[in-house]
Structure 1
């Protein structure tokens, strides 16, 4: 059942403010919090989302990193500006990932955002049939100050719908290099006014970012798959094993070090209907590969085409390289116990930010 949501002023498009507006927002999971007005209306937020897609598409096709800075910030801006550098070496690639459809806007209550930055979240679908898509892209938008334009700051992917028998499973998340946990999250929690409920324990919840950075920083094959901080599975313990195994394929001729650091801006933490929190974290992963005793190595295959583009030397043999990548991880954080990874692009397919090396 829809409930009235009162807008109290915000941006239309990516900058500026409009007068107040009444909008309709369907509620999801309910909390017992008293109804409060949200910071701005659904219609304005959808305009921000749609204009961001339009401007991002055009900027990538034009290879215009400055234009992207008008509509993006944080880790997403760093990714796309680096992607522009890669695209300049790949003339036949338009660069546009996919068209997001079926946007569903989630607006936090104004009381939860008394100052700046302010946020809202949009869950969209990469499928041409958004009503059937199980995977959702969680898009985070921020306004850094009064009168400032709204900008996209990060994108993560999760399953937020159950499996539907006989329906085609969309995997648009793989364009972003993501893999997704094969179990849907609980619904976002909304208050009686339809406003998105943010986690009251956000500061504690976000500590999962630092724990993950520590967990995933290691020199292969010495990564420890098991951790008391994370639920074992394909996107945690099995991923560590995969990095370890990738090293072993090199016959121990190359030292491979992976170092994570938390990056980007702090994103809002969403309270889920089951009492858990949805936390999205941005990281910079530095891959340092060094041939042992004068041994050399090559980058082979499509996942490494961006590395070669950043190195600027075409396909070569290397004695050492340092590659910085942008990684995004969505976590499900319970009040107690280990967190689970819902979706991540922590792989060799994630965006390359920079690369340098010593050729053979």
Structure 2
């Protein structure tokens, strides 16, 4: 199988697997005071410190959790609850129609509860203009939530500029940065964001582990109740092995980030050139976006049939976000940037990783040519 679905999940690296096994063999609960518990606590905090160093922040700003979906929900619902408790009424949220479903779903739920939600309009490449954000801010805006790197298009936002506009009005700014670490530079203090969310499985760590960044001095109420773990913000026994393995994986991914970026850019360009002769093929991703992602449309083809044909040819790709797979709905991201429903249904996403080879890209390109012929036959 040629695996070209790294935006959905990055296979665990050998180093992360070894680190996970090492930590999982320790019996202690990191909240326990005995020696076994304190040994587990040391591994937990070493993993957190490694992640913090790679993200340019203090370990005390990172809350360990189960991943990006939990993190996005925690920020949107936690901030909204705090704002509504303080003001006695629903407030105003600004976000975008190209967010991951982990942001879209809580935003829509807040809308159903009386909140006003402004959905910024993207350009054809999925970018959001700082001027549009400035115009949308209101006295009752409780939060702005705009992703850093889009999971379907690879579009990279000017997060520092957008966050600065929100900060100038005293509005907290959240970014879903799940797709960035290991591929794109991350500088949380330099970005100026209030909150950011991450998932370890996107950089070669284990699935089911993630982090919420909360800038020092910012508030984020818990949305679940229980013990005092993670400063009381995310109660429940921590996944010691997962956090430790996440830290080991990100340390290595961060060290190779520039090399990985160059490698992915070369692979994407090679793939684009190799399939450019397919009749009618159009590209959706912006040229200056994350090199991890290549999004294409084959007008007149059926995306589901293309994926099944590719799978028969032992190539793994996707039609969009893995969290939306099986819904039979066209990509909301592609629809938001102006594609028709038919074209959105005829679109595929290929995403590359550091372990992807040129030979695999060439074979995948040939498989796509064959799959397109079968789909259009």
Q: TM-score, normalised by structure 2?
A: 0.31
Q: Give the number of the structure whose residues are more often strand, by fraction.
A: 1
Greater RCO, CA 8 A, separation 6+: 2
Q: Give the number of the structure whose residues are more often helix, by fraction.
A: 2
Q: TM-score, normalised by structure 1?
A: 0.32
